[in-house]
Chains A and B, each alone.
Chain A
Amino acid sequence: MSIWKYANPVKFLALSARVQPFAWAAAAIGIIVGLGWGFFATPDDFRQGSTIKIIYIHVPAAWIAINAWIMMLIASLIWLVRRHHVSALAAKAAAPVGLVMTVIGLVTGAVWGQPMWGTWWAWDPRLTSFLILFLFYLGYIALWEAVEDPDTAADLTSVLCLVGSVFALMSRYAVLFWSQGLHQGATLSLDKEENISDVFWQPLVLSIAGFTLLFLALVLYRTGTEIALRRTRALNVRLDKTT
């Protein structure tokens, strides 16, 4: 028994089918309760007014946007080292989800920034890094679409993901060097107990959990889609040969 047995598509699909109902349900509960709680039942911030409510989407979306890329990086590494197809397809399945979350993070940030900072957009390090992350997602997805042979596509996108991660990290520090920040520090951090008060913190954590579960459920489902597409392709190739 090891985790690698789920590299077998059949085993993976069986596990995924068992996990998915719970993931979807828990994601729905987390998001509905978290966002509902945040939207209807939290007080306004004394400085930000009701715009504080945007935090319940902005922070979870940003969290997923970054972690989706990290998950893609790990999946790409597994594909390059151990050649498990499920891994490559999971990375492919996660990319559009990460892209959408990046857009949500950018858009909600802009909507919040307009009244608070007086501008939709500022070339602040965090905002700029996120925009660069968005470009990396675009390039990654475009490369998947462009290469015809699925295994070559998996190979090339994995290499791009690896190199891209290094350069994305460098860009992160480059923009820190390049511009002074407007964005507040981390909302969540491990070393500090809390940076925001409990009233906002609790629904936020719930919402983050909901978004994470939604990501999990979506990636499982979309990986299943990719496996189905791959298998159809293989079957059709065999049919053409025999008929």
Chain B
Amino acid sequence: MIALLIRDLRLAFRAGGGFGLGLAFFLILVVLVPFSVGPQSALLSSIAPGVLWLGALLACLLSLDRLLALDFEDGTLDVLASAPLPLEAALAVKGFAHWITTGLPLVIAAPFLGVLLNLPPEGFGWLVISLMLGTPALSMIGCFGAALTVGIKRGGLLMSLLVLPLYVPTLIFGAEAARRGAIGMDVETPLFLLAGISLGSLALLPFAAAAALRMTIR
């Protein structure tokens, strides 16, 4: 398991592994927002938590097609499916690797981009905490979406169509927690619910993803 994690991380960091692309996308998206809605700082600061959450979500989505597609093409997935390690565990590890290479950098970058959007000072801590709690769910749901569509040629757009509706609850609670934090309201309820979604996804979705993957590579 750890070997698989290290392998995935090493592949991602290597040149051409696409590490940092999601981060760059996140940055560009946040820079584009003031161009589209105008530079009024009051408006920007009120939409900042939502925009940052949406940006992180889209950056996460963008990197999903690399999650399984390359391994599917070169046959690694077939090996994993017949390995002694259960496929469920292997997929959980791959989701975790995706989170380390995509989710974690987004969490770290978010406060800096928050400065660009004039995020109120109270909001930074809650933004980071909500993203920290929510991005694992995004990675795991994405892993499920990738497992569903891995056998389909040009499945990238289809995967977005499947994954984005699944992201709805995570986005609602995450952005709500960040928004409430920014205006000094009580954040406990959405944060707990967000953590619940993340834990539930981590516990159950590897099984769904493994089931879907077995159906494809049977």
Q: Which residues of A contact B (CB under 8 A)?
A: 132, 135-136, 138-139, 142-143, 146-147, 152, 155-156, 159-160, 162-164, 167-168, 170-171, 173-175, 177-178
Contacts of B216 in A (CB 8 A): 152, 156
A143-B148, A155-B215, A159-B208 known; A174+B162 contact, CB < 8 A: no
Contacts of B158 in A (CB 8 A): 139, 142-143, 146
Does residue B86 face the partner (Cβ distance < 8 Å to A)? no
Does residue B165 face the partner (Cβ distance < 8 Å to A)? yes
Binary contact track B25-57/A, C-beta < 8 Å → 1, others 0: 000000000000000000000000000000000
* B166 engages A167 (CB within 8 Å): yes
- Chain B residues 138 to 164 lying within 8 A of chain A, measured CB to CB, are 144, 148-149, 151-152, 155, 158, 161-162, 164
Question: By DSSP majority rule, is chain A's interface helix, strand, loop, or mixed?
Answer: helix
* A177 engages B172 (CB within 8 Å): yes
Contact of A143 among B162, B168, B169 (CB under 8 A): B162
A142-B161, A143-B158, A152-B151 known; A167+B205 contact, CB < 8 A: no
Does residue B193 face the partner (Cβ distance < 8 Å to A)? yes
Does residue B132 face the partner (Cβ distance < 8 Å to A)? no
For the complex, what is the distance from the CA of A168 to the CA of B165, rounded to whole Å? Answer: 8
Q: Which residues of B contact A (CB under 8 A)?
A: 144, 148-149, 151-152, 155, 158, 161-162, 164-166, 168-169, 172-173, 176, 189-190, 193, 197, 205, 208, 211-212, 215-216, 218
Contact of A174 among B173, B208, B218 (CB under 8 A): B173
Q: Other than the known A159-B148, A163-B166, what 15 A-B pairs have Cβ atoms closer than 8 Å? A: A135-B165, A138-B161, A139-B165, A156-B148, A156-B215, A163-B208, A164-B166, A167-B165, A167-B169, A168-B165, A170-B169, A171-B169, A171-B172, A174-B173, A177-B173
* B144 engages A178 (CB within 8 Å): no
For the complex, what is the distance from the CA of A168 to the CA of B168, rounded to whole Å? Answer: 9
* A132 engages B168 (CB within 8 Å): yes
A138-B161, A152-B215, A164-B166 known; A146+B193 contact, CB < 8 A: no
